[in-house]
């Protein structure tokens, strides 16, 4: 499939400039949040949730103005599929990197929320000083975690379709696209 095929067979759901604006607005909110005196003199440990979080982390980071230590973790439950299954931990954060730290989890999408909720729980067990999460998009449906868990910062809302671009893949591909697409129904 070529880029031309993608353009013909998909709907452009969110364009590049809209996404860039949303990322800048999120960065401003995070800069404001972490300028609170309770974070004075501290650095923030940002965890990029691989692989999907990579694009968003890179775009977000360049607009963040507080001292940030970048790490990554990898938990996956979609693989190359468009339906989620059981969570598979590939790289866990190390306890020593969490204890007493101020953690920011960065991911591309909050869909059914099971991935981010499980990551949050894993991190919480190792007693960070604070833990917050930011996602680029929140998919609009009612299949969210029963616990009520939700990210602290959300960039954009997206309709209930399988989407790709901006870090999100379609069958392992097209994470590189700077806009968000869904195949035509
Ligand atoms: O809210 P959920 O329904 O749990 O889905 C969201 C998660 O799914 C995707 O990861 P994926 O499992 O595709 O792994 P990948 O990022 O390595 O492709 C995405 O990057 C999120 O981490
Ligand atoms: O809609 C999606 N697209 C890509 N990856 C995803 N992971 C969860 N939901 C999605």
| CA neighbours closer than 13 Å in the CB half-sphere of residue 137 | 28
Secondary structure of 30-55 as H, E, C letters: HHHHCCCHHHCCCCEEEEEEECCHHH
Which of 18-27, 74-83, 156-165 shows the lowest mean pLDDT across its residues?
74-83
Q: What is the ipTM of this complex?
A: 0.98
- Does 59 fall in a domain? yes
Kindly give the distance from the C-alpha atom of residue 37 to the centroid of ligand 1, in angstroms, as a whole number. Answer: 34
* Predicted confidence band of residue 62 (pLDDT cuts 50, 70, 90): very high
Going by CA atoms, what residue is nearest to atom 1 of ligand 2?
162
Instruction: Give the CATH number, domain containing residue 76.
Output: 3.40.50.2020
How many Å apart are CA 133 and CA 117, to the nearest integer? 10
Q: What is the pLDDT of the chain when averaged over all its residues?
A: 97
Residue that is written with structure tokens 């790490």 in the block: 71
- Does 174 fall in a domain? no
pLDDT score for 105: 98
- Does 140 fall in a domain? yes
- Does 171 fall in a domain? no
- Does 11 fall in a domain? no
pLDDT score for 54: 98
How many Å apart are CA 104 and CA 133, to the nearest integer? 5
Give the mean model confidence (pLDDT) for residues 72-79: 96
Tally of domains within the chain: 1
pLDDT score for 156: 98
How many Å apart are CA 4 and CA 8, to the nearest integer? 6
pLDDT score for 10: 97
Q: Helix %, strand %, coil % for the chain, to 5?
A: 30, 30, 40
pLDDT score for 107: 98
Kindly give the distance from the C-alpha atom of residue 100 to the centroid of ligand 2, in angstroms, as a whole number. Answer: 32
Give the mean model confidence (pLDDT) for residues 9-17: 97
47-70 burial code (b ≥16 CB/10 A, e <16):
bbbbbbbbbbbebbeeebebeeee
Kindly give the distance from the C-alpha atom of residue 87 to the centroid of ligand 1, in angstroms, as a whole number. Answer: 9
How many Å apart are CA 44 and CA 104, to the nearest integer? 7
- Does 46 fall in a domain? yes
Domain extent, residue 93, equals 17-34+42-158
Going by CA atoms, what residue is nearest to atom 20 of ligand 1?
52
* Predicted confidence band of residue 76 (pLDDT cuts 50, 70, 90): very high
The response to whether residue 131 sits with its C-beta less than 6 Å from ligand 2 reads no
Inter-residue contact 144 to 150 (CB < 8 Å): yes
Ligand 1, pocket residues at CB < 6 Å: 49-52, 76-78, 84, 107-115, 169
Kindly give the distance from the C-alpha atom of residue 84 to the centroid of ligand 1, in angstroms, as a whole number. Answer: 8
- Does 119 fall in a domain? yes
How many Å apart are CA 107 and CA 130, to the nearest integer? 17
How many Å apart are CA 8 and CA 10, to the nearest integer? 6
């Amino acid at each position: 499939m070529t880029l031309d095929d993608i353009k013909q067979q998909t709907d452009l759901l969110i364009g590049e400039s809209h996404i860039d604006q949303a990322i800048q607005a999120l960065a401003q909110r995070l800069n404001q949040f972490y300028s609170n005196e309770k974070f004075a003199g501290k650095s923030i440990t940002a965890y990029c949730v691989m692989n999907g979080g990579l694009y968003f982390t890179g775009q977000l980071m360049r607009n963040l103005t507080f001292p940030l230590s970048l790490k990554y973790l990898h938990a996956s439950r979609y693989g190359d599929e468009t339906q989620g299954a059981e969570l598979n931990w590939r790289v866990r954060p190390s306890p020593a990197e969490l204890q007493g730290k101020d953690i920011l989890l960065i991911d591309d999408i909050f869909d059914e929320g099971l991935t981010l909720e499980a990551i949050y729980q894993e991190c919480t067990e190792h007693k960070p000083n604070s833990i917050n999460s930011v996602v680029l998009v929140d998919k609009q449906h009612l299949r969210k975690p029963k616990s009520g868990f939700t990210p602290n910062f959300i960039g954009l809302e997206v309709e209930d379709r399988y989407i790709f671009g901006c870090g999100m893949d379609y069958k392992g591909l097209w994470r590189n696209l700077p806009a968000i697409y869904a195949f035509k129904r």
